[in-house]
Amino acid sequence: MTDGLLAGPILRRATSNRICVWIATHQRIEIVLEILDTTGETLGTSNPQQLYSECTQLGEHLFIYLLEARRPGGLQFPFDTTLFYQLSHHHEHGGKILWDLSALAYPPFDKPSFYVADQLRTLLHGSCRKPHGGNESGDALRHGDHILEQTCNDLTQRPGLLLLTGDQIYADDVSLSLLSMLRREAAALLGKDDEWLPVAEDSKSSHQETKHVAISTIPLNGREVFLKKHDPGFSSRQSENHLLSFGEYAAMYIYILGNVPQWQPEEQWDRLNQEEIAAVDDAKKNFHEQREPLKKFANSLSQVRRLLANIPTYMMLDDHDVTDDWNITNMWYDKVRDSLLGRRVVANALAAYWAFQGCGNDPDNFPMDLKSAISQHLLQKSPHREIDERFDLHTWRHRRWGYSIPTNPPVIAIDSRTQRESTPNSYLPKLLDRYARDWLVVEWAKLKTDPRINNESCPLFIATTPVLGFSTVQFMQKFLLLGAKMLDNYQLIHKIEGLLGQRDFLTRYVLRHADIESWAANSQSLLSLMKTLQQRMHLQQCIFLSGDVHYAFAAYGSYQNNNSTLQCWQLTCSSLKNSPTERHSRALKMADQLTHNDITHTYHARKSLPGPITKAQWEKWLPTFLTKKLWEVNITLVNSDDDATKIFPDCKLGLVTFKNGKPIRQTLLHDNKEVVLNLPDISLPP
């Protein structure tokens, strides 16, 4: 019985202690998850007595399940052994009915398969997946399906994990025909005639009287106008069809996770034009430009669904999962939080992220109070102030979006979006506040209770934006930001901005449009992270796995401070389906040609120092009390095996190969050919 299935099954957290499988259904079903070995013997099952806590109703026709299977008697699932799972439910007249999941199996198997790796040999990773992005490129995530099809019976080659490192959806940039479909299906999922959004009667008033706007009253291609009218503080530049309601976010996830219901975006303009559409001429132009890329995306969804069913999959949020530039600056956060509309849209996005992505990373991170606040809000038929306020507060205040995985090497996913720290006299926050850095220390201590992990292990950190960045691109961003700050401080411009109520307008404009939120953009942000890893966690080596930037590269380097060294690898892969524009690609190609392989950044405790002068050279003539405040980051960029190219803007999926817990290769899989980036074996510092 799979008639009521909306999405899944997706294999989520899979460790020796428990196996989690996620599904979404149209109705409540008494489901049982069973884990089998190659002989067909049942090793573990989910507990029917816990089904209530494993299922959350989010709409009249939307039920989310995260089924957890454990072995009886405290036994563990075996490492490096092919395992299978099956789903079943009990017929109302008695008897067990197995679900037919053979279409999701890789031959020669007839069930979804996976394994729990004792030591990671390979993993897949990628980010930034926009259905109509990528122009002529297809969805690179489908290459993972090809890899598993080829390696499913060879665990030495089969990837052990899939890490999706951000922007699994683009909530702010949705194609016209896709939004038309999503808002129709959203109403069916929730069983409501409409969803309502709170707005202030007067957005400029300090005392906000609330009224509610029905989502159906906002025309297609008209949401940018709606957002400007009510001024929630969003800064996306592609918001004509921004997702706003929970139902729309949920429908988007159901579509991009495999489109089990076989929903169809409208492909004919004449039929789509029968709906209310704003700015019709622009809408028609965008519709025709987006139609072919969207069709290519749809054609590979069955492959993506099979991949997600057969590999432990972990996900991390970034800005487009909510809205572009989410929490990019202190002022952005404050303005959106204080807006009734902005606060609710972010709450809707976070609730959907929890249901479709976050809950499967580590179920222990989400208390029942959060689940009940989300469910109670969504199941009410009309707005209720106290219930709605509880929903907003619980989603906004939740901090445990990060997680760790006890693999070898261990994985720690860093949430650098919701735990940022305001900095005085700066629009650039630290990407992690003190409590988030404390969390890193605690997670590392927890992981080290596993006898396979110790101080010599090399943990892998999911950092959505690169920690060791591509220097030339970051330099250009800093140059633009410096110029904007200088203009903002010019007396005449400063006065004009003050009269218009737009203090530091140019600085904020550059921050948003140039996406300046790298770790290196605020040296204190980078320093606080590196000091935590080196001095509090006592690491000697680590790996950073990133996406976000819409290009790929590999690098290795070191952080040096107080005569101590932390060796690092940086593996970046982006995007899965959102390649840069032709203009952007030319700029990246130029940056590649201008960038040397070896780069050194020397920093004072407060800022970077000018010129390519190393810490050792500064120490020769600076007073001793100043040299104690110097620290240094060295980066070496890796060329492809074929040529001297270091940066790759095409849509691609990353395949990382490990040896003895260290990365030795990153292979970029895309439509044209594979690109191989070989990494050196870095010796531990003495």
Whether residue 367 is contained in a domain is answered as yes
| 199: β partners | 211
**How many angstroms separate the CA atoms of 559 and 580, rounded?**
31
489 and 613 share one domain: no
| 658: β partners | 663
CA 646 from chain centre, in angstroms, equals 24
Whether residue 74 is contained in a domain is answered as yes
- pLDDT value for 417: 94
Whether residue 573 is contained in a domain is answered as yes
- pLDDT value for 422: 82
**For residue 229, how many other CB atoms are within 10 A of its CB?**
12
| β-pair type (162-164, 313-315) | parallel
Nearest to 10 by CA among 324, 257, 201, 202: 257
**How many angstroms separate the CA atoms of 227 and 15, rounded?**
44
Domain boundary (116, 135, 150) is at 116
Which string of DSSP letters, residue by residue, matches 14-82? E-SS-EEEEEEESS---EEEEEE-TTS-EEEEE-GGGHHHHEEEEETTEEEEEEEEE-GGG--PPBS--
Nearest to 436 by CA among 458, 414, 461, 467: 414
In Å, how far are 84, 222, 224, 274, 450 from 266, measured between CA atoms?
38, 18, 21, 11, 52
Which string of DSSP letters, residue by residue, matches 79-97? BS--EEEEEEEE-TTSSEE
Tokens of 643: 């040529």
585 and 527 share one domain: yes
| 124: β partners | 162, 655
Whether residue 533 is contained in a domain is answered as yes
Whether residue 158 is contained in a domain is answered as no
Q: Is 157 left (phi over 0), alpha (psi -120 to 50) or beta?
A: alpha
552 and 628 share one domain: yes
320 and 422 share one domain: no
Torsion of Cα atoms, 304 then 308 then 313 then 317, to 10°: 40
Tokens of 662: 């260290």
What sections of 580-659 are H helices per DSSP?
582-594, 615-621, 624-627
DSSP 300: T
**How many angstroms separate the CA atoms of 126 and 550, rounded?**
10
Total residues found in the chain within this entry: 686
506 and 463 share one domain: no
3-state secondary structure of 252: helix
Phi, psi of 664 (to 5 degrees): -120, -10
21 and 103 share one domain: yes
- Return the residue matching tokens 């630290």: 430
**How many angstroms separate the CA atoms of 51 and 31, rounded?**
8
How does pLDDT run across 439-461, given as a tens digit for each residue? 999 999 999 999 888 878 899 99
Residue 80: CATH number of its domain: 2.60.40
**How many angstroms separate the CA atoms of 645 and 466, rounded?**
18
Phi, psi of 134 (to 5 degrees): 85, 0
326 and 375 share one domain: yes
Nearest to 123 by CA among 425, 456, 494, 571: 571
Phi, psi of 49 (to 5 degrees): -70, -20
Whether residue 557 is contained in a domain is answered as yes
- pLDDT value for 599: 78
CA 590 from chain centre, in angstroms, equals 28
Phi, psi of 633 (to 5 degrees): -120, 125
Catalogue the E-assigned strands of 250-368: 313-315
**How many angstroms separate the CA atoms of 39 and 83, rounded?**
10
382 and 506 share one domain: no
**Burial track 542-551 (b if 16+ CB lie within 10 A, e otherwise):** bbbbbbbbbb
Whether residue 433 is contained in a domain is answered as yes
**Cβ(409)–Cβ(457) under 8 Å?**
yes
**How many angstroms separate the CA atoms of 99 and 88, rounded?**
5
The overall longest dimension of the chain from CA atoms, in Å, is 86
Give the H/E segment covering residue 296. Answer: helix 280-299
- pLDDT value for 681: 84
244 and 282 share one domain: yes
Torsion of Cα atoms, 257 then 259 then 264 then 265, to 10°: -10
Check whether the bond before 610 is cis (ω within 30° of 0): no
Phi, psi of 275 (to 5 degrees): -85, 165
Give the H/E segment covering residue 541. Answer: strand 541-546
524 and 654 share one domain: yes
**How many angstroms separate the CA atoms of 294 and 252, rounded?**
13
| 461: β partners | 412, 544
| Mean pLDDT per 10-residue section of the chain, whose length is 686 residues | 85 97 95 95 92 90 97 94 94 80 96 96 97 86 97 96 97 96 96 92 63 94 95 92 98 97 94 93 94 94 98 97 92 92 98 98 95 96 92 95 96 96 74 96 95 89 91 63 61 61 63 69 87 94 94 92 88 91 78 76 70 69 70 88 84 95 94 88 68
- 417-422 LR contacts (CB < 8 Å, sep 24+): 417/317, 417/318, 417/319, 417/322, 417/326, 417/327, 417/464, 418/327, 420/327, 420/333, 422/330
Give the H/E segment covering residue 376. Answer: helix 368-379
Tokens of 646: 């270091």
- pLDDT value for 560: 87
Whether residue 130 is contained in a domain is answered as no
CA 290 from chain centre, in angstroms, equals 23
- Single-letter amino acid, residue 351: A
434 and 581 share one domain: yes
- Single-letter amino acid, residue 224: E
Positive or negative, the CA dihedral 243, 247, 249, 252 is negative
If one counts the domains in the chain, the total is 4
Domain of 245 in residue numbering reads as 166-361+363-401
394 and 489 share one domain: no
